[in-house]
Chain A
Amino acid sequence: MAERNPAERDDNLLDIRNLRIEAKVYPPGEEPKTITLVHDVSLTLKRGKVLGLIGESGAGKSTIGLSTMAYGRGGVRITGGEVVINGRDILKQGKRGVRALRGREVCYVAQSAAAAFNPAHRLMDQVVEAAIGHGTASRAEAEKRAVALFKKLSLPDPENIGNRYPHQVSGGQLQRVMTAMALCSQPDLIVFDEPTTALDVTTQIDVLAAIKDAIHDTGVAALYITHDLAVVAQVSDEIMVLRHGRLVEWGGTRQIIKEPRQEYTNALVSVHEIEHREQNPAGTPVLSVKDVTAAYGRSHVKVLKNVSVDIYPGQTLAVVGESGSGKSTLARAITGLLPPEQGSITFAGRTLSNALAQRSKADLRELQMIYQMADVAMNPRQTVGTIIGRPLEFYFGMRGRERDKRVAELLEKIEMGKGFVDRYPAELSGGQKQRVCIARALAAKPRMIICDEVTSALDPLVAHGILKLLLELQAEEQVAYLFITHDLATVKSIADSIAVMYRGEVVRYGPKSKVLAPPFDDYTDLLLRSVPEMEIGWLEKAISGRRMASAGN
């Protein structure tokens, strides 16, 4: 809390005027060029208020958030405008002045607390570091304050949790410790940069509630950055919608979510459920998993316990659960990457051998996978044509013009034109990369594709497009999907049947209409209640209505 003029008290804490931010980019095979990330954005924030910054990736929301600390990641530079905090333009302060501001007047809460904490130091030392470094508190005072904050953020064992190292604390807890770290310096402004995005949906709700209470009780102002409108609606007073580094709309939370004035805001606000009529199980299942039990290494902890599910041709089974529930392990067991200890897997009438090495080429071809991280699932030094052409060569022996023709057809199918054949993955957007991965899976003419969180890393509108594409392709090719996700909204739009997994077991399984209809078991109830709704006051209602506490706590 720097020297503050009493006359300023009622004035704006933060006043950003015509902010312009640029970055130097190095596109492959081209001259480096300067691009503008933020185009003349202005905003103001009063003391104790919360402004939500929302938009898709590349909208410039994090960049704007970090500009309040005069910080630019990588080659990002603030090239124009003013950022006035507590009456001073911090862009004119020089290095020393900026250091005096960071960690004292403005603090930052990062998306991944697990990465943002230094693994070599105890939590307490990191939490009090800024307060002590700026001389605003003695160590004893700062530690007392930290313990009080741990209590307020309802962390377990608040007196001693500070003695732990980051790896000894769960992700949801770390995110709250990071919030405590930001609050410990008693700043005027906190920048929350997607603080709950990396968490499980059931954990997110608790962290969100803790952050909201802490903001309310300490009276700190906040910039809350997220791509999830439903989340930001729970904590903000006002919401600013950004796109491509420009302001789209700025208004009160109620106005933005109830009466959006811009078309883009409307697209974000409207619910993107795809009408997908459930198909009834018909014929013999293409894949039948029976009583599969699996563990990593020689561990006694079973990651899968007697899992049995069936998938029918041309249909989708969605596997839902939070991290650690065993849903990705199920995919590994089916593909043979993790041979099951017990149980059998039948695919297209054949019993699959447990180990990958003993499976025939047809087994491999007819069972394809698409991954969450499209950019690491492709060789960055191969062109799109080579990536999609590879399964054609490997499984069908196609060469030359025949292969090129088929690659072009596949690109057509994923709604990407011919111009993409010679591009490298780095030159594609996130959605386009995922489309190429889909085309690569389709190239093998599979009977079934395992989709492992394929839309989780994508912006909502892009994810929507991918889901629609997957459904169209299913109708055309009669391919079955095993769709792994933690997102129940996605499940509603794509699944025919659903398996809910919890700690390695299938706790609920059946057709979509049955699984998503009451009466619910406690875990499914928790999952359903934890999905944020675009409704003011949803958070409080959801917390009070829960029947069981989330596991990440």
Chain B
Amino acid sequence: MSSPIVKLVAQRIALGLLLLLAVSVLIFAGTQILPGDVAQSILGQSATPEALANLRAELGLNDPAWVRYFKWLGGVLTGDLGTALSSGQDIATSIRGRLWNTLFLAFAAAVVAVPLAILLGLLAVRYRNGPVDKIISGLALASTSLPEFFIGYLLVFFFAVKLQWFPGISTVYDGMPFLDRLKAIALPATALTLVVLAHMMRMTRAAILNVMQSAYIETAELKGLSPFDVIRKHAFPNAIAPIVNVVMLNLAFLIVGVVVVEVIFVYPGMGQYLVDHVAKRDVPVVQAVGLIFAAVYIGLNIVADIAAIIANPRLRHPK
């Protein structure tokens, strides 16, 4: 682990932070462009002009945009995300529990989906162009092609209504026993798994097939290794970079893109929180959630970049 790696990793992290800063500007600018007036929406249509002016001054809405931006950014950096307009609650406090819920759901889905996708990808390569490959690819494609709300309702219909194995509404609360919690999120986690599985599996298959053309695969075959060993030992390590990339994209989707699934299962996570507050035009909440989603997305992509750098023996072991 010598200098080129450290340098490249430091570069990626610095770039990521810069990008996050740029995204924060975009989010702030975006919410400013939106029509409507915060003071108006808090006080309602019947408010007097004096009351509106007072509230604007109180909220600092008369300051220039850049001053408000830096106030907001300074708050974010010190852990203060502001207060929700609709409820008057501290955003950081209400997000904390929900973020944890979302991460838990995403983690549960990822723990199943990532190993399963890679294993299926390896199997598809091992039996490429045969029936096993076609069945795996076909089922995976079908599950991706169905919209997630449709999968969600199918799952609810069969496993919650007909079989009554799992609850149809994923209620979780603080201090809930771990197993109960798992049972509660079984259906949304399954829906998410089905959505992301195919993409990762097909990328794994394509990345490994690409490597299978290399001369060193022939060398491995001519050593008398079994076909699965050839793929696992010789092809897979050279396909890690593209696979990690697609895995990270999907992990990001699991956290950022759960909005629909959370709404279907009435799961108290970030997605539902965001949807609720968009409806209420609660700008500070939308800003805070947007920034967190952006941070997750950028962070996971940095992880993917770093993993790809570390997976490259030429960078890990320079001449």
Contacts and interface: CB of A to CB of B under 8 A. Distances in A.
Contact of B223 (A73, A115, A121, A130): A130
A100 interface: yes
B134 interface: no
Given A71-B222, A120-B237, A167 B313 contact: yes
Interface in B199-236: 214-216, 218-226, 229, 233-234
Contacts of B225: 99, 103, 129, 133
A134 B224 contact: yes
Interface in A87-143: 98-104, 107-108, 110, 112, 115-121, 126, 129-130, 133-134
A471 interface: no
A108 B219 contact: yes
A108 B222 contact: yes
B219 A165 contact: no
Interface residues of A, number: 30
B224 A104 contact: yes
A164 B317 CA distance: 8
A130 to B, nearest CB: 4
Interface in A270-295: none
B313 A103 contact: no
Contacts of B215: 110, 112, 115-116
B218 A119 contact: no
B218 A165 contact: no
B224 A115 contact: no
Contacts of B311: 120
Given A165-B313, A167-B313, A168-B317, A116 B223 contact: no
Contact of A115 (B216, B226, B233, B317): B216
Contacts of B219: 108, 110, 116-118, 126
A167 B223 contact: no
A118 B234 contact: yes
A69 B237 CA distance: 26
A102 B221 contact: yes
A116 B224 contact: no
Nearest to B236: A120
Contacts of A117: 216, 219
A71 B224 contact: no
A121 B229 CA distance: 14
A168 B311 CA distance: 16
B223 A119 contact: no
Contact of B216 (A103, A116, A168): A116
A102 B222 contact: yes
B44 to A, nearest CB: 64
Contact of A129 (B223, B238, B313, B317): B223
Interface string A66-81: 0001010100000000
B314 interface: yes
Contact of A165 (B214, B224, B317): B317
B319 A168 contact: yes
Interface in B222-261: 222-226, 229, 233-234, 237-238
Contacts of B233: 121
Interface residues of B, number: 22
Nearest to A108: B222
Given A110-B215, A167-B319, A119 B224 contact: no
Contacts of A108: 219, 222
Contacts of A134: 224
A167 B315 CA distance: 10
A102 B319 CA distance: 32
B57 to A, nearest CB: 57
A170 to B, nearest CB: 10
A103 B225 CA distance: 8
A102 B220 CA distance: 10
A102 to B, nearest CB: 4
Contacts of A101: 224
**Which of A102, A118, A121 has the largest count of B CB atoms less than 10 A from its CB?**
A118
A120 B238 contact: yes
Interface string A386-408: 00000000000000000000000
Contact of B222 (A103, A115, A118, A126): A103
B222 A119 contact: no
A102 B313 contact: no
Contacts of A116: 215-216, 218-219
Contacts of A99: 224-226
Contact of A167 (B214, B224, B237, B314): B314
Contacts of A126: 219
A251 B238 CA distance: 45
A126 to B, nearest CB: 8
B216 A118 contact: yes
Contacts of A100: 224
Contact of A130 (B224, B238, B317): B224
Contacts of B238: 118-120
Contact of B313 (A69, A104, A115, A120): A120
A365 to B, nearest CB: 39
Contacts of A69: 222
Contacts of B220: 118, 129
Contacts of A71: 218, 221-222
A108 B220 CA distance: 10
Given A110-B218, A118-B216, A167-B314, A133 B234 contact: no
A103 B317 contact: no
A134 B218 CA distance: 17
A103 B218 contact: no
Nearest to A163: B317
Contacts of B224: 98-104, 130, 133-134
Contacts of A167: 313-314, 317, 319
Contacts of B223: 102-103, 107, 129-130, 133
Contacts of A121: 233-234, 237
A271 B124 CA distance: 53
Interface in A148-177: 164-165, 167-168
A100 B216 CA distance: 19
Nearest to A115: B215
**Which of B219, B220, B234 has the largest count of A CB atoms less than 10 A from its CB?**
B219
A116 B229 CA distance: 17
**Which of B216, B218, B234 has the largest count of A CB atoms less than 10 A from its CB?**
B216
Contacts of A115: 214-216
**Which of B218, B226, B311 has the largest count of A CB atoms less than 10 A from its CB?**
B218
B234 A119 contact: no
B34 to A, nearest CB: 48
B186 to A, nearest CB: 38
Interface string A12-25: 00000000000000
A119 B221 contact: no
A443 to B, nearest CB: 36
Nearest to B222: A108
Interface in B165-222: 214-216, 218-222
A268 B96 CA distance: 80
A119 B313 CA distance: 7
Contacts of B222: 69, 71, 102-103, 107-108
A192 to B, nearest CB: 13
Interface of A: 69, 71, 73, 98-104, 107-108, 110, 112, 115-121, 126, 129-130, 133-134, 164-165, 167-168
Which 5 pairs between the two chains have the least Cβ-Cβ distance?
Answer: A103-B223, A102-B224, A115-B215, A103-B224, A120-B237
Given A98-B224, A107-B222, 11 more contacts: A69-B222, A100-B224, A116-B218, A116-B219, A119-B238, A120-B237, A121-B234, A133-B225, A165-B317, A167-B314, A167-B317
17 contacts: A99-B224, A99-B226, A108-B219, A110-B218, A112-B215, A116-B218, A117-B216, A118-B237, A118-B238, A121-B234, A129-B220, A130-B223, A133-B225, A133-B229, A165-B313, A165-B314, A168-B319
